Amino acid sequence: MSTHEVASAPVAEHHTSTGLDNTKLAMWAFLGSECLFFGSFITTYLLYRNRVLDGPTPHEIYDIPFTSVSSFILLMSSLTMVLALAAIQRGDHKTMRVWLACTALLGMAFIGGQVYEFTTFVEEGLKISTSVFGSSFFVLTGFHGAHVTVGIFMLLALVGMSMSGRLGDRHEGARKVELIGLYWHFVDIVWIVIFTVIYLIPTN
Amino acid sequence: MATAAYPTRRGFFTRPRSTTGKWSWFFTVDHKKIGIMYCVTAFIFFIVGGLEALAIRSQLAQPNGEILNAEVYNQFFTMHGLTMIFLVVMPMGVGLMNYLVPLLIGARDVAFPRLNAFSYWVFLFGGIFLYSSFFLGGAPDGGWFGYAPLNETLPGHGMTFYALGLQILGVASLAGAVNFIITIINMRAPGMTLLRMPVFVWMTLVTAFLLLFAMPIIAVALFELMFDRAFQATFFDPTQGGDPLLWQHLFWLFGHPEVYIMILPAMGIVSDVLPTFSGKPIFGYNAIVFAGAAIGFMGWGVWAHHMFTTGLGPVANSAFALSTMFIAVPTGVKIFNWIGTMWGGSLRFTTPMLFSIGFIAMFIIGGLSGVTHSIAPHDAQQQDTYYVVAHFHYVLFGGAIFGLFSGFYYWWPKAFGKLLSEKLGKVHFWLMFLGFNLTFGPFHVLGLNGMPRRIYTYVEGMGWDFMNLLSTIGAFVIALSALVFIANVVITRRRGEEAGADPWDARTLEWSTTSPPPEYNFEEIPIVRHRDDFWHRKYIETPEGEPARVLAGGAVATHEHEAGHGIHMPSPSYFPIVAATGLPLLGYGVIYFNSTGKALLVLGALVTMMGLFGWVLEPGAEERV
Ligand code: HEM
Ligand SMILES: [Cu+2]
């Protein structure tokens, strides 16, 4: 029938209307949504940062040099992520695994820093229940930490898949690494915003 | 085709193979089955929410009613609202999108079939989770918008269930939104350009974007509430410096886009039904599409019209009053488009057409009372009276629900191969239409006479008795109409008229395949050359401008037995339902945050992780028997 010419691309093939990969577009859409998620938490924080009751104020409690170091560590993890992607694009699984593991390790170092920071704050008298400043600080940075943690799991999953040969060939592997990479870079960028807005902009 | 009723398991990461039998529903990734499950589940919740409404109306039928006490009344109106919004209108819309979008754009499935199944199960479990609160010490009772600080001072677990239940439902919506956006952007048949897409697909796209950006905002508000209620945070506690208005801003910044999330799918349905039964293409396609997109954008700039009485100040009030009046403009454009579509057409008053026309009429009334709200000083009188209740029922019930029923009658023959009875359908329509106006029309008067919203009883002598009685009678007429619909479904399932592929002489691609469509939708992916492509296969225009039937045009390919060879559809999967199971467990874990609760949290996290691991590691497809 002339009106129905054949174009039966099976679903499994990556044949899309825009030529862009479905999963990558989906990740972009999801990250768009995440912008509003963090945006709303940051707004809450900005509204509340001066409301400390009897508890510590932001500039009494923040240890900016310490957090700068852990921020630097997280930024470096974006670099290693890029190197991992470059490696798999060359088809070099082994180097990719090394860089992915480095990325995960840097992420863990960052989380370690956050755990340390949270415990010191609690010892110094800032808890989630101390003031709305405390509530908004812990919940915002806590959710960011949770995002990093999820990212670490995904990075480790990639390493595991590569070792057991489930990552697929060079193209398929690069697609997956790029996807997780998008997420990882996003979480880094959000941290830059958080770091600037929370730690660097002075409060009164 | 597969015949086994039970999935065969041959190792942990294999996929189930059967696509028939009752087990196949649990593991299916077929958008059509998922769409049906969404609609059926939402319809069951519609009955539950309707029963709550009947209880409310019985209590208010006369002054000093004694059917519900204040406590139960609060739970009932809150759960009624939450049910109708999150468990009925939204999922019914999503159900139709699921069933239809791939068919309408000439695709074999959505972009992420397993994510789609996951959305459904999360929605179902979220709904059950919310309702389990009735048995665990009391349901949410702070109103559907759960204003602070009441939302944290209310005793019991009710509002914690609210915070977590809506959070879970939000996950389902977000997953669905991503899926539909990518499906529409990326899975269109060759030639199906954006401006050839049926209006319903466009409205789905706008709705999906609204969901994508609105759900994270309510998620933040709900997380903050959860931390307040369960973990000693003080976000909304004014005694600790918390700001209750923050809740209102976050809530309505989600809440107003949410009302468009509910109405746009219905507008899409109507825009596809009217042309079919008017024998004309939609009037002003571009205008209607752009008006939909404009609503999608402007919907973000009007939220504070819900907060006129909170003291935002005259500048903010004026600004939001103006933006609210402006948003009525694209809405009005659509109404003119619909009327223009019917104008001079050869109208066929079938049941879906009646519901569509009912939609337009009722939506105009609701839209106009909305415009009266937008006048800030006016709204100061109306806020928290029954007048507002009248407004949002005219847009939500008279609008969204009428539109959805129009869609059900219209696409029923496509999904089940049999037509619903027109006679019963018309009885259903007229009963519902009369009952609806009898119930909600009097609310305008009651509200203007000062009857406040959310009171569980009133004394005689306020001048409210008669209107309240009328309204309660109307509510039972609506209930009767719902019974007629159920009877229609039951009767026609047994002896309905066979529909054939194209019972309505319709215009869009879904009618070019069999009813019900095969699992893979289209034998061959259609090539699209026109808007309303299927119509153009059936008709050409004569020199006089009259449509003339093309011989054998639009015939449906039906070589049933050898059909579907060489088409690979994704296999069913165990893991969406597994991953979804973890979420309510996490919810209970937070609510009972003692040692059992902590165990539940760990368990929930493990189940979800297991589900996701299986999801990633299972093979892409299994050979079919
Ligand atoms: C012409 C378009 C519309 C306008 C101008 C409009 C305007 C308004 C205004 C100003 C209010 C606040 C009233 C108050 O709280 O005092 C309101 C409430 C409400 N509207 Fe609309 N609206 C429109 C369309 C819709 C649609 C399409 C829906 C849903 C499908 C909807 C659902 C609601 C709901 C549920 C409320 C009640 C919120 C509450 O509980 O306070 N509206 N509307
Ligand atoms: Cu609104």
Q: How far is the CA of B324 from the centre of ligand 1 (A)?
A: 10
Residue B109, both tokens: 């499935």
Q: Which ligand is nearest to the CA of B299?
A: 2
CA dist., res. A84 & res. A82, Å (int): 5
B285-326 pLDDT per residue, tens: 999 999 999 999 999 999 999 999 999 999 999 999 999 999
Q: What is the CA radius of gyration of chain B?
A: 25
How far is CA B205 from each of CA A134, B198, B301, B360, rounded to the nearest angstrom? 39, 11, 19, 22
Across the interface, whether the CB atoms of B216 and A48 are under 8 A apart is answered: no
The CATH number given to whatever domain includes residue A155 is 1.20.120.80
Show the domain range for A114.
23-54+65-200
Helix, strand, coil content of chain A in percent (nearest 5): 75, 0, 25
- CB burial of residue B4 (10 Å; 0-12, 13-18, 19+): middle
Q: Is residue A27 part of a domain?
A: yes
Say if residues B330 and B342 touch (Cβ distance below 8 Å). no
A26 lies within 8 A of chain B by CB: yes
Residue nearest to ligand 1 atom 6, measured at CA? B370
Q: How far is the CA of B45 from the centre of ligand 2 (A)?
A: 24
Say if residues B273 and B353 touch (Cβ distance below 8 Å). yes
Partnered with residue B418 across adjacent β-strands are: B498
Q: Is residue A131 part of a domain?
A: yes
Q: How far is the CA of B391 from the centre of ligand 1 (A)?
A: 7
Continuous segment of H or E residues that includes residue A115: helix A93-123
B482-494 pLDDT per residue, tens: 999 999 999 998 8
B594-610 pLDDT per residue, tens: 888 899 999 999 999 99
In this prediction, residue B557 carries a pLDDT of 52
CA dist., res. B274 & res. B280, Å (int): 8
A152-186 pLDDT per residue, tens: 999 999 999 999 888 888 888 999 999 999 999 99
CA dist., res. B323 & res. B380, Å (int): 17
Question: In the CATH scheme, what architecture does the domain B30-570 have?
Answer: Up-down Bundle (1.20)
Average pLDDT value for residue range B113-124 = 95
CA dist., res. A107 & res. B547, Å (int): 66
ipTM: 0.92
Q: Which ligand is nearest to the CA of B266?
A: 1
Q: How far is the CA of B396 from the centre of ligand 1 (A)?
A: 9
**Which among A11, A41, A128 is the nearest to B231, CB-wise?**
A128
Continuous segment of H or E residues that includes residue B418: strand B418-419
**Which among A8, A34, A127 is the nearest to B525, CB-wise?**
A8
Three-class DSSP labels, B487-507:
HHHHHHHHHCEECCCCCCCCC
3 state SS of B532:
coil
Q: Is residue A13 part of a domain?
A: no
Q: Is residue A15 part of a domain?
A: no
Q: Is residue A70 part of a domain?
A: yes
B224 lies within 8 A of chain A by CB: yes
Q: Is residue A60 part of a domain?
A: no
| Better pLDDT: B511 or A4 | B511
Asked, as a colleague might, if the bond just before B113 is cis with ω within 30 of 0, I would say no
CA dist., res. A9 & res. B196, Å (int): 21
Residue nearest to ligand 1 atom 32, measured at CA? B392
B15 lies within 8 A of chain A by CB: no
Residue nearest to ligand 1 atom 20, measured at CA? B392
How many structural domains compose chain A?
1
In this prediction, residue B23 carries a pLDDT of 80
Number of the ligand 1 atom closest to the C-alpha atom of B383: 16
How far is CA B616 from each of CA A11, A157, B330, rounded to the nearest angstrom? 18, 10, 44
Q: B486 CB contacts (<8 Å, ≥6 apart)?
A: none
pLDDT classification of B552: cutoffs 50, 70, 90: low
Q: B399 CB less than 6 Å from ligand 1?
A: yes
CA distance B73 to chain A (A): 33
CA dist., res. B370 & res. B393, Å (int): 11
A136 lies within 8 A of chain B by CB: yes
